[in-house]
Structure 1
Amino acid sequence: MTDLLDARLVVDRGTFRLDVHLRIAAGEVLALLGPNGAGKTTAMRALAGLEPLTAGHVRLGERELDRPDARVWTPTERRPIGVVFQDYLLFPHLSALDNVAFGPRRHGVDKRKARAEAADWLARVGLAEFAKRKPRQLSGGQAQRVALARALATHPELLLLDEPLAALDARTRLDTRVELQRHLAEHPGATLLVTHDPLDALVLADRLVVIEHGAVVQEGDAAAVTARPRTDYVARLVGLNLYRGHAADGGVRVADGLTLAVTDRVSGEAFVAFRPSAVAIFSERPEGSPRNVWQATVAGVQRHGDNLRVGLQGPIEAAADITPPAAAELGLTAGQRVWAAVKATETNAYPA
């Protein structure tokens, strides 16, 4: 698959440095994930021409948009890029129709044709009857769709989505995510989705790139990233306990006095991961089938879906998901000493 976007984004901001390489093919959706302060928004702004590059390049198709070392620079308004901002930034004094027509008008399309194109885009996003409404008269989901239509109306080669669902309530978010997935599937250009929400990324994107402290820490399709996280942030993102240690003789030493038995063949520096639901908690040391067992202290208990998530401290920190009846039987309280156990068959070990 040929890359439509090839960008190395280097931005120096005093103590912070962004240095990431992004490639996106035509018709592909790439999700850029990371914690707050990782550099996601800086990367998006650099692509849009709103943040100057210190070094690197932005190439879109055959066109070089930005290359500081060659003094190549393309102003934001001349880049074939559409942007949907987190707060949508619709023009409050314009109707939904004129908001969408704004892009084509800026590209030299006459008013009548631009408004006809805008009406077509509003129909595509299911808002034909809302054409005359001002942004303040729209719901959050409707405003998001107007912003998407406005971005797509210029037929961008690259579509940038900055936390496009973050401002929506849970129900609207669910419905809008389904709609957005459909529109992204129809978009012939490249799409970059900037988000901190793993569900948005897993549902909407073909590939994931995770950045921390301005650098890429992991990338790949959803299955690869979720199966083998490589940092604590990624592990939390996909809901896994993750440890790094030294593997030898069927075990991974993850802490002083604790070696986790694993079934995967691995040696040297390695990661070992397991789901919170794989962790069993006992009031006394369990006997019977071979397990990884260690003593821990309950750090806290909170509801997690239909179960309870128990935070455990000890030689390793871990999360365990147990049922409310099991928690009641154990009488779990903060500070309580318990035994934690994980079967070797429930672990996933892989090279670091």
Structure 2
Amino acid sequence: MTLLDANLVVDRGAFRLDLPLHAAPGETVALLGPNGAGKTTALRALAGLEALGGGHVRLDGRDLDRPADRTWVPAERRRIGVVFQDYLLFPHLSALDNVAFGPRRRGARRADARAAAAAWLGRVGLEELAHRRPGRLSGGQAQRVALARALAVEPTLLLLDEPLAALDARTRLDTRAELHRHLAEHAGAAVLVTHDPIDALMLADRLIVVEDGRAVQTGDAEAITARPRTDYVARLVGLNLYRGRAAGHTVHLEGGRELTAADPLDGDAFAAFAPTAVALYRDRPDGSPRNTWHATVSGVHRHGDNLRVQLDGPLRAAADVTPASAAHLGLGPGQRVWAAVKATEIRVYPA
């Protein structure tokens, strides 16, 4: 069953968002992409804060926005809850009254709205802070109040715009786990906007990668991390990615370079390998591996327990080496090295 069925078309000058989007009951979909990709615009269009120029938004069998039929449902009449990036809690209201605001706007009596708000604050573990105003809450506490406020209206669709971006690293870790629990308990659909791949991978059932207003890749975490289709996604998952034309075991890249892979393929193809698969040498390696090239080190920085080496040359790539290997090779910007990748380390798949 499809609970959310949307095709979001929004024009802003030279920028156009054209994004098909659907979600099932109980499903969390993450819109992942760089700044300026159109993720927040998509969320605002779903919430009714941005009018569509084309396409449609249909939720639980009801049209909310369909320009072709002049159908438009205002934001306050949509069964949608929103957690904004900056939470946007009312500073003059207590946590309790912030959460009660939604039910009151929907016609609930004051006592009933406050009782529902108290119950939601209990569910997010903040019943003891019900009478505090936002200025006296920590970032994690404010995020939970914002989530309770969004859920208190019993939304069919929950929208979350970078809900963890304002938190420090430790608070983010704890709050992410708690948010995951609440999303799992939510019977409706949820759409999460983020540029953080960890948030997307940990919180969402399905990912939609958005670049320049369009979906460039869709799938679960395993599918997207295994077969990235753009440089942006490859960088997120830490792979070197190239596009070319495969003929058997050889992938012909632009500029005349070739990569040899263990598995054969024919046609337009992507070739990907991990930075850990790249071996670096002072001199050309013995045995002349098929995938060998002369490269120039353009940068070195720490990456976990290893060092990530950026390589320029006929094949731009990233390589991971141990600090001991980097010291032995004397790696630094401008250093010339030989790079090699075994054919068995290269994954090739259709473009």
TM range (shorter): over 0.9
2:103 matches 1:85: no
Where do 1:236-251 residues align within 5 Å? 236-251=235-250
Aligned counterparts of 2:212 and 2:248: Cα–Cα separation in 1: 35
Where do 1:91-110 residues align within 5 Å? 91-110=90-109
One-letter amino acid matched to 1:282? Y
**Matched residue, 2:5:** 6
**Matched residue, 2:38:** 39
8 Å Cα contact 2:250/2:264 also seen in 1: no
Aligned counterparts of 1:101 and 1:189: Cα–Cα separation in 2: 20
**Matched residue, 1:173:** 172
1:153-204 deviation line (CA, Å, top 9, x unaligned):
0000000000000000000000000000000000000000000000000000
8 Å Cα contact 1:97/1:119 also seen in 2: yes
8 Å Cα contact 2:99/2:152 also seen in 1: yes
8 Å Cα contact 1:55/1:68 also seen in 2: yes
Aligned counterparts of 1:290 and 1:280: Cα–Cα separation in 2: 11
1:59-81 deviation line (CA, Å, top 9, x unaligned):
00111101001000000000000
8 Å Cα contact 2:34/2:211 also seen in 1: yes
**Matched residue, 2:222:** 223
Where do 1:286-301 residues align within 5 Å? 286-288=285-287, 290-301=289-300
**Matched residue, 2:324:** 325
Aligned counterparts of 1:279 and 1:10: Cα–Cα separation in 2: 42
Where do 1:308-347 residues align within 5 Å? 308-347=307-346
Q: Secondary structure of 2:265's partner?
A: coil
1:333 positional shift: 1.2
Q: Secondary structure of 1:199's partner?
A: helix
Aligned counterparts of 1:321 and 1:88: Cα–Cα separation in 2: 39
Q: Secondary structure of 1:250's partner?
A: strand
1:219 positional shift: 0.3
Q: Secondary structure of 2:108's partner?
A: coil
RMSD of Structure 2 on Structure 1 (CA) = 0.9
Where do 1:1-352 residues align within 5 Å? 2-288=1-287, 290-352=289-351
Q: Secondary structure of 2:174's partner?
A: helix
Aligned counterparts of 1:48 and 1:264: Cα–Cα separation in 2: 47
Seen in structure 2, the aligned counterparts of structure 1 residues 188 and 289 have a Cα distance that, compared at 3 Å, is farther
Aligned counterparts of 1:288 and 1:121: Cα–Cα separation in 2: 66
Aligned counterparts of 2:277 and 2:118: Cα–Cα separation in 1: 53
One-letter amino acid matched to 1:155? E
1:257 positional shift: 4.2
8 Å Cα contact 1:31/1:208 also seen in 2: yes
One-letter amino acid matched to 1:107? R
1:265 positional shift: 2.3
4+ long deviations beyond 4 Å: none
8 Å Cα contact 1:255/1:315 also seen in 2: no
Q: Secondary structure of 2:285's partner?
A: coil
1:244 positional shift: 0.3
1:264-320 deviation line (CA, Å, top 9, x unaligned):
221111100111111111111111384511110000101111111100001121111
8 Å Cα contact 2:289/2:340 also seen in 1: no
1:38-95 deviation line (CA, Å, top 9, x unaligned):
1001000000011110000000011110100100000000000000000000000000
Q: Secondary structure of 1:103's partner?
A: helix
8 Å Cα contact 2:32/2:193 also seen in 1: yes
1:116-152 deviation line (CA, Å, top 9, x unaligned):
1111100100111110111010110000000000000
8 Å Cα contact 1:67/1:73 also seen in 2: yes
Aligned counterparts of 2:71 and 2:255: Cα–Cα separation in 1: 54
Aligned counterparts of 2:85 and 2:38: Cα–Cα separation in 1: 15
8 Å Cα contact 1:207/1:222 also seen in 2: yes
1:5 positional shift: 0.1
1:249 positional shift: 2.8
Q: Secondary structure of 2:180's partner?
A: helix
One-letter amino acid matched to 1:122? L
Q: Secondary structure of 1:256's partner?
A: helix
One-letter amino acid matched to 2:137? L
